[in-house]
Amino acid sequence: MLMVISPAKTLDFETDCGHNKFTENEFLDDAQLLINEIQKLSSKQLGSLMKLSDKLANLNCDRYQSWSLPFNEENAKQALFAFQGDVYQGLDAQSLTKAQVNFAQKHLLILSGLYGILRPLDLMQAYRLEMGTKFKNKRGKDLYEFWGNKLEENVNQRLKKKDSVLVNLASQEYFKAINPKKLNTSIITPVFKNKKNGEYKMIALFAKKARGMMVRYAIDNKITDVEDLKGFDYEGYKFSKKLSSEQELVFTRTP
């Protein structure tokens, strides 16, 4: 079983994660190509492209200008600990043991506009480049065309076993970068709904955190069989057989 999640806009490169083990991202050559093109943009152009305030545009322009290889513990950080935000609050990586981090390294991938696919322990430098950004580049009109079929090919290599399943806990924006029709496996998408005005609805803020909690549940219980995900019960969620289908596992919660 392999899980995929989205990255986050909020980053933390100040806090010591307490883990000295790290790996190298497999798409650094591709990332360098993107960096070379992005570095040509002014702060104003970057802000317009990404719809950022002047402050954030300047910050990210500085990040791109200072981006350099090779990565090491001094200028980069493991992806699992660098990303913050709702999904990562639910995952709470800082409290993971080394054994749990090793489990995550084998069963979790983070999709990225700049780095393609990050494993939890892959080093990364600070950036902001959402997958949906319409950044025209040498490979096409946007990042989806830039990555082409590279990402699903990489995922397929990781899912060689016939009984492997891909658990999609990423947003639509990021999962679009992988063509599901080209994946040699079944895809299961957990959906999280909260009761509001008498109906169960997906509320973005709660759903994002729940995706992270689902990853944490899988790590806590060393889950490798997707059927065992149905036991997910963190913060009051319960599996709903009635609302679920073969492709979607629906979990509901009543505040």
Paired with 77 in beta bridges are: 124
The per-residue pLDDT for range 128-172, each reduced to its tens digit, is 999 999 999 999 999 999 999 999 999 999 987 666 899 999 999
The per-residue pLDDT for range 198-243, each reduced to its tens digit, is 899 999 999 999 999 999 999 999 999 999 999 999 999 999 999 9
Rounded Cα distance, 253 and 4, in Å: 23
CB 221 within 8 A of CB 101: no
Tell how far CA 184 is from the center of its chain: 21
pLDDT at 210: 98
pLDDT at 163: 66
DSSP state of 113: T
Q: Is the pTM of this model over 0.85?
A: yes
User: Could you give the percent of the chain with pLDDT greater than 70?
Assistant: 99
Give the confidence band of 181 by pLDDT, cuts at 50, 70, 90: confident
Q: For 57, left (φ over 0), alpha (ψ -120 to 50), or beta? A: alpha
Among 133, 144, 111, CA closest to 45: 133
For residue 255, count CB atoms less than 10 angstroms from its CB and return exposed for 0-12, middle for 13-18, buried for 19 or more. exposed
The per-residue pLDDT for range 56-103, each reduced to its tens digit, is 999 999 999 999 999 999 999 999 999 999 999 999 999 999 999 999
* Boundaries of domain holding 227: 2-253
Q: How many domains does the chain have?
A: 1
CB 188 within 8 A of CB 247: yes
Distances (CA, A) of 38 to 49, 79, 128, 221: 10, 21, 11, 41
